Amino acid sequence: MAKISIEEFHQIIDEEIPWAADAGLVLEEIEAGRVIMRLPYHQRSVRPGGTISGPHMMLLSDACMYAVVLSLIGKVKLAVTTNFNINFLRKPAERDLLAEGRSIKLGKRLAVMEVSVFTDIDKELVGHATGTYSIPPD
């Protein structure tokens, strides 16, 4: 069972990370160590060439990792990204993007996650990210 609810996560985003709220991020599913998050399509997220921009896919991936961490440790707002890597695998269509995040390892001070990013219509993998979050001491 997740240590944070969808509603609690959205409250943190709304109150503490307004730029993520402005992007329209939606946490759709959460369980301990696994989440599904959606970035709704918007014309502002399209780059030249008719594809979703890399920074938007990075925003989705990092926010997804944050939700994974909180699903395991609860409302620890100061858990922060210490490492982030993303591979852009193919050009995503101008559609909503979905991210599935999973915990790889949770330690006392660090959490390591991976995120698969795909479009909502064809489920083809368009990006893969890995990252590490630092967990503050109690």
What's the CA gap between 57 and 98, in Å, rounded?
A: 9
Residues 94-114 have pLDDT tens digits of 899 999 999 999 999 999 999
- The structure tokens 């780059």 sit at 47
Quote the number of domains for the chain.
1
Angle at 57 between CA 56 and CA 60, to 5 degrees: 85
CATH of the domain at 79: 3.10.129.10
Q: Report if residue 120 sits inside a domain.
A: yes
pTM of the entire predicted model: 0.95
Q: Which domain holds residue 121?
A: 6-134
Q: Is 1 among the domain residues?
A: no
Determine the 3-state secondary structure of 46 from DSSP. strand
**pLDDT tens-digit readout, 126-138:** 999 999 999 999 7
Residue 80: which pLDDT band, with cuts at 50, 70 and 90? very high
Q: Smallest Cα–Cα separation from 67: which of 23, 121, 120, 131?
A: 131
Q: What is the pLDDT of residues 29-69, one digit of tens each?
A: 999 999 999 999 998 888 888 889 999 999 999 999 999 99
